[in-house]
Each structure stands twice: as C-alpha cells, then as structure tokens.
Amino acid sequence: MTDSRWVVDVDGASFASEVLERSRRTPVLVDFWANWCGPCRTLGPILAKLAEELQGRFVLAKIDSDRNPDLARRYGVRGIPAVKLFIDGQVTNEFTGALPESRVRKFLEESLPSGADKAASQAMAALTRGDLQAAEAGFAAVLTQSPEHTEALLGLTRVYLDSGRMEEANATLARLPARDREGTEAKLLAARLAFAAAAVDIAPLAARVEADPADLAARMALGEALVARESYAEGLEQFLEVVRRNRAFDDDAGRKAILRVFDLLGPGHPLIASFRPRLSALLFS
C-alpha cells in the first residue's frame, strides 16, 4: 500500500469508488503496472512525485495489471505502463510507455482541468439548474482571471440570453476567440441572438407578404419573427420561398437564415432532414 494522500492502490473491488466515482470530483490518473515491468519502475516514481507536487489536481491510482487482468482488458491495456486519465467517469486522455518527466508534465498540463475550468463547470451547473444569478457571478469571476475562457464566455452569453439582456449577450459572444466561433455551442448562441432580435408582432408582416408575395424583405422579417416564436417549420418555409424567388436577395439572406435555423435546431433534428434536401434542390437545380 502507498502512504500518500494523492496515491492509492486500486483493485477490481475498489475501482468503481476510487476511480469512476472519485473522478467526478477530482481527476484520477490510473497507472496500469506490474512488478516485472522495468519501465513501470521508471515511470511510477515520476507519477507519484507529480501527484504530490500538484497537491490534489489529480489522484494517482495504481493498478497491478497482473492481479487485475479484467480491468486491464476492459480498458484495452496491451502494453505497460499504460496511463489513463479519468474525468467524470470517462477516459479523457492516455499514454503508454515510460515517458520522461518533462513529457509527463506536458501531458498533465494539457489534460488536467485548470482552476478556471473547475469554476466554469460549477457556474455551468448553476445555469443548468436555473440559478442565473449564481451562474453569472461564477462565469464573471472566471473571465476576470481568464478573459478568453471559452466555456465561461459561452455560459455568460447564455445567462444574458436567458435574462433577456441582448446587448450584453452580443457583446460577450463577440469576445469569443476566432478559433472557437465555429463550434456547435457558439453557432447555436449566435443563431439564438440573431432570431431573438426579430421577436416582433407577426400579423403586420404576414399581411405585407399576403398583399405582395414578392416583398422579400417582408418575407424575411416574417420568417425571422416566426423562428423567434419557435415556429421553426413556418419560418423555414418563408426563407425557402425567398431562395426560390431570388437566391441573390440581400446577399443570399434566405439560404443563410436557413443555415442559422439548422444551427439553432442542432444536429439530428427532423426538420433539418426535411428542409436540407429542399434547399439543395433549389440551389443545384
């Protein structure tokens, strides 16, 4: 047995509690090793040293692969030492072989959540349970220390959107680094913002379109207002009609609006499967 607070010996009986459950609170670095393995004797002390040095950023779990072959098979261990990082019950990164200390440090630096990451996750949990005040305070605190923290920027944008504070939502999303703007969550929030600004009375717009079906500006505004009310299919029909009547209208506005709705709906939504082929037929006929 080890005598360190940050290093534990684990077997099949304790794996669920010491690795899977514990990793939901603290990252767990699992070291599959064996007594006969020379590289394991080289790597083991390096891992233990770093566990002590980092004082709780991760726990090192030592698993004797000879005594626990079922665990080794379950996690695809084919050579040792095999090191696997568990976070929230899942393997998030791994390596095999006795890396030098410098490379192990680099692996940990790239793989372990930072203090800002943990704080952002706590703020996201508050947002998920509907506590907008706590979420806003948490994300703001993260951004004070890490102004380009992606999860915090996205989370704070969601807080502002859910609070109806559109200017602040737009300003916060605009701070997102360019490298992250094509991510799924960023595109979803951008779409929400675009359509939230169009939440106006539908009746006058519908009347304009009925009076003049070729009024594409009115048709675009009607589609946006419908989407803002979550009448997605009806809004998509308006945008599709704009594309059908004039693909080039307002710099391809109809097609772009359809793609924003797709971002808003998310992958796999049945409306995407219905409308994407219709859009393609118009674009490529």
Alpha-carbon span 219 to 243, nearest angstrom: 11
Alpha-carbon span 181 to 183, nearest angstrom: 6
Alpha-carbon span 56 to 60, nearest angstrom: 10
Alpha-carbon span 154 to 150, nearest angstrom: 6
Write the single-letter amino acid at 84.
K
Alpha-carbon span 2 to 150, nearest angstrom: 38
Q: Are 139 and 120 in contact (CB under 8 A)?
A: yes
37 is catalytic: yes
> What are φ and ψ of residue 94, in 5° steps?
-165, 165
Catalytic choice (40, 85, 218, 265):
40
40 is catalytic: yes
- C-alpha neighbours within 13 Å on the C-beta side of residue 141: 16
Catalytic choice (8, 10, 37, 80):
37
Handedness of CA 41, 45, 47, 51 (dihedral sign): positive
Alpha-carbon span 234 to 20, nearest angstrom: 46
Q: Are 135 and 103 in contact (CB under 8 A)?
A: no
Tokens of 25: 């609170």
Alpha-carbon span 136 to 200, nearest angstrom: 28
**Which residue numbers are catalytic?**
37, 40
